[in-house]
Structure formats: structure tokens, C-alpha cells
Amino acid sequence: MIIKTAEFLMSNSDVDKCPKNQIPEYAFIGRSNVGKSSLINMITNHKNLAKTSGRPGKTQLINHFLINKEWFLVDLPGYGYARVSKTAKQKFQSFITDYFEKRQQLISAFVLIDIRHTPQPIDLEFMEYMGVSGIPFSIIFTKADKLKPMAIERNVNAYTEELLKTWEETPNYFVTSSSKNIGRDAVLEFIAATNTEIESMR
């Protein structure tokens, strides 16, 4: 798929204020600092479309980016940022779950996971929540430039094994690096195929 246009549309603190049209959307979720905003920039080929930072907690709102005037990429705040106050953390959590539970236009989410780590309870819990809530998602492993291929395989397998303890099958997954431009085509192909499927059902 070719990205012809990518435009920032709006930021919202409340899911009820998000765009009311029926444009399909794909949302990026995961721990703070995992690389959600960077991945949106990589996918759209724009350096600064979504704001990124070395410090966790940069994205604090629901951000809609309109792609090719046809579909949205949605950048969300991260979960599991330990340094925010308890009340702020609770707010983020209900804010995120509110988005997933209310947003009818959401076609699929991408749960981002830092490839460098062994399976983390918070990510497993979040995927469990998505599964139980019936929200379709794929996994995107990020920061693949930081590991050698064998370590990538080992960590992907560790996640797969962990998920298969409670799931019958594992979600679709992608291995990416925003700094080395790895995995862009695979993610875009997935979105293109899903968009075509939606079109044919309309």
C-alpha cells in the first residue's frame, strides 16, 4: 500500500468526542515508551507526525491521524507507567478501556511489545483483557534493531508459549523497528487486506 497522505486530525481526552464518521480505524496500544508514536511515524513515512519522546508518558490523549483520506491510525497513551500518580494511572486505564469498549469504528488494535523483554505480566494481562472483551488485535514487537535475530526468535517464542497456556491460538504478530524501518510493509499489507475485507462486506 502506498501512503499518499497522512494528516493529524484531532486529539481528545474523551472517546465520546472522537470523530463521529464511520471511517475504519486501527489503534496502537502498549506500555509507555514501547514505541507507539514512533511506529506511526515509520508507517506513514513522516518524521514528526506523532510526537515521540525518550521519556515515558509522552502521549496523553487519543490522537487521530487520517491516512489516504480513507482510514485512521490512532495513537493512544501508554499503560503501565509507574511514575505517574495513582489517580493519573487509574484515569489512563479507564480512558484506555473506555476507548476500546466504546469505539465502534475500531477495526483492529495493535498491541505493541518491546522485543527485548521476556513476557511481562502487564502486557499479558492487557492481551487477556482484549481477548475477553472480544477486541481484535495483532501483536507488534518493537525495537527489533536492539537484538540479534536469534534473540528475537527466542523472545517471540517465549511470548507464544506464554500465550498458548491460556489461548487456543496466538494472535497474528509482526516484528518491527522504527529506527531501521523493519516491518513496515507487513503491517501496511495487513491493514490493506483488512480494509478490502471491510469494503467487500459493506
Ligand X SMILES: Nc1nc2c(ncn2[C@@H]2O[C@H](COP(=O)(O)OP(=O)(O)OP(=O)(O)O)[C@@H](O)[C@H]2O)c(=O)[nH]1
Residue 152 and residue 176 in contact, taking contact as beta carbons nearer than 8 Å: no
User: Please, which of residues 31-50 interact with Mg ion by CB under 5 A?
Assistant: 36-37
From candidates 2, 4, 16, 54, binder to ligand X by CB under 6 A: 54
Instruction: Provide the terminal-to-terminal Cα distance of the chain, rounded to the nearest Å.
Output: 21
Q: Choose among 9, 30, 39: nearest CA to 188.
A: 39
From candidates 25, 29, 37, 105, binder to ligand X by CB under 6 A: 37
Alpha-carbon radius of gyration of the chain: 16
Instruction: Find the part of the chain contacting Mg ion (CB under 5 A) among 14-22, 56-64, 84-92, 162-170.
Output: 56-64
Give me the amino acid identity at 154: R
From candidates 41, 44, 59, 178, binder to Mg ion by CB under 5 A: 59
CB of 82 to Mg ion, least distance (A): 16
- Establish if 63 lies at the interface with ligand X (CB under 6 A): no
Give me the amino acid identity at 4: K
Residue corresponding to grid cell 514487537: 141
Strands 106-114 and 62-67: unpaired
Residue 45 and residue 53 in contact, taking contact as beta carbons nearer than 8 Å: no
- Establish if 155 lies at the interface with ligand X (CB under 6 A): no
CB of 49 to ligand X, least distance (A): 11
Binding site for ligand X (CB under 6 A): 32-38, 52-54, 56-59, 77-78, 142-143, 145-146, 177-179
Binding site for Mg ion (CB under 5 A): 36-37, 58-59
